[in-house]
């Protein structure tokens, strides 16, 4: 599994917890390869991975690094080859066509004005959803031209081609 911690670079505790969650799920530590988006990413760097686990953190920083490193094209090639993209928090927002919902929780310190995401799916995920955000989510559902799917911390959305399944 390719482990991409880029959006959480400064939070070592979070990174350790995220890796430990993978180990707790039965993935052996030796099968977790950390991939930094700090250089030009080539597809051959991730071909041995069956899945990419893209961590949470600052969505704008993650998008900037994905663009700078060429990760966007590599992620498309990876998914088109039948492999799995797992996005957590910022990583799930990044997978969609538009990351502007991240303005609700992340600082756009980088000053990104083009909010186009990886576009691996036409769905915009709203992670960490709570009932108190219902009105804000409704506004984004009206504003965006893509479906917005709010997910609580106890939910996941599995997308396989045209099939979408909510897991609780």
pLDDT tens column, 139-166? 999 999 999 999 999 999 999 988 999 9
pLDDT at 113 exceeding the cut of 70: yes
**In contact, 41 and 70? CB cutoff 8 Å:** yes
Look at 126 and 161; give whichever has higher pLDDT.
126
Rounded to 10 degrees, the C-alpha dihedral 168/101/63/83 comes to 30
Pairing mode, if any, of strands 163-167 and 156-160? antiparallel
pLDDT, position 12: 75
Neighbours of 28 (CB within 10 A): 9
Identify the pLDDT of residue 167. 96
Confidence at residue 97, expressed as pLDDT on a 0 to 100 scale: 98
pLDDT in tens, 94-106: 999 999 999 999 9
The closest of 131, 115, 126, 127 to 153, measured between CA atoms, is 127
Query: 155 in helix, strand or coil?
Result: coil
User: For the segment 36-71, what is each residue's pLDDT rounded down to a tens digit?
Assistant: 999 999 999 999 999 999 998 899 999 999 999 999
Burial of 121 (0-12, 13-18, 19+ CB in 10 A): buried
Q: Taking 80 as the threshold, does the pLDDT of residue 110 lie above it?
A: yes
- What pLDDT, on the 0 to 100 scale, is given for residue 15? 80
Please name the residues in contact with 76: beta carbons below 8 A apart, sequence gap of 6 or more. 118, 120
Rounded to whole angstroms, the Cα distance separating 93 from 66 reads 13
Sequence spans of domains, the chain: 2-167
CATH fold, domain 2-167, is Rossmann fold (3.40.50)
- pLDDT class for 8, splitting at 50, 70, 90? low
Neighbours of 155 (CB within 10 A): 14
Over 90: is that where the pLDDT of 16 sits?
no
Percent of the chain with pLDDT over 90: 86
105-133: average pLDDT: 96
């Amino acid at each position: 599994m390719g482990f991409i911690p880029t959006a959480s670079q400064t939070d070592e505790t979070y990174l350790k917890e995220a890796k430990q969650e993978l180990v707790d799920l039965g993935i052996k530590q030796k099968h977790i390869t950390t991939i930094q988006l700090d250089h030009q990413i080539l597809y051959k760097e991730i071909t041995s991975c069956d899945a990419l686990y893209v961590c949470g953190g600052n969505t704008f920083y993650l998008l900037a690094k994905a663009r700078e490193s060429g990760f966007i094209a590599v992620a498309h090639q990876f998914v088109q080859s039948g492999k799995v993209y797992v996005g957590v928090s910022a990583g799930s927002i990044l997978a969609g066509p538009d990351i502007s919902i991240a303005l609700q929780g992340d600082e756009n310190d980088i000053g990104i004005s083009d909010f186009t995401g990886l576009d691996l799916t036409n769905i915009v995920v709203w992670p960490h959803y709570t009932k108190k955000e219902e009105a804000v989510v409704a506004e984004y559902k009206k504003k965006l031209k893509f479906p917005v799917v709010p997910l609580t911390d106890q939910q996941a959305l599995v997308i396989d081609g045209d099939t979408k399944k909510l897991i609780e």
